[in-house]
Amino acid sequence: MNAEKNLSPSMLRVLHPAVEPHTPVKNPHDLIPEGAKAQGLRYLAPRLSSLAGKRLALLDNNKVNARELLTAFGKQLNEQFGLSEIKMWRKPTSAAPAPFITEITAWKPDLMLTASGD
C-alpha cells in the first residue's frame, strides 16, 4: 500500500500550484486546514502523474458560492480525467477549522481541493 495513504491528519501535505514539490514550507501553520500550528518544516506533496481513477475530496469553506465552484470544478475534472469518486465536506463556518480532517484522511483521497467563495 502507498505510504501516502497512511498519513495522519497532522501529516497532511499540501501542494500549491506555484511551488514545486519537496519545497520546505516556512509557515506551515498556513497550510493546516484543521487550524493547528505545525512545528518545524513541512514539505509539499508530490504531483500526481494522472487524475484518472483517482479519489477527489472537496473541502467547502462555507462561503458564498464555494460549494457551487467546487461542484463545477469536480464535475469538470471527472469529465476530463475520469475520477473514480468525488466526495465533499463542508465546514460549519468559514472562520472555524475543519473538524473532519480525520474523516477525510480515513476516506483516503488521492487529491483534496478547497476553494473560497465570494
Which pLDDT value is given to residue 59? 93
The rounded distance, in Å, linking the Cα atoms of 62 and 47 is 27
From residue 92, how far is each of 31, 99, 100, 115 by CA, in Å?
19, 8, 10, 15
Please indicate, yes or no, whether the overall pTM of this predicted structure exceeds 0.75.
Answer: no
Instruction: Supply the range of the domain harboring residue 15.
Output: 3-115
DSSP annotation string for 51-85:
-TT-EEEEEE-SSTTHHHHHHHHHHHHHHHH--SE
Which pLDDT value is given to residue 86? 97
Structural domain count, the chain:
1
What does pLDDT average to in each consecutive run of 10 residues of the chain (118 residues)?
Answer: 39 50 55 54 73 95 91 92 96 87 91 82
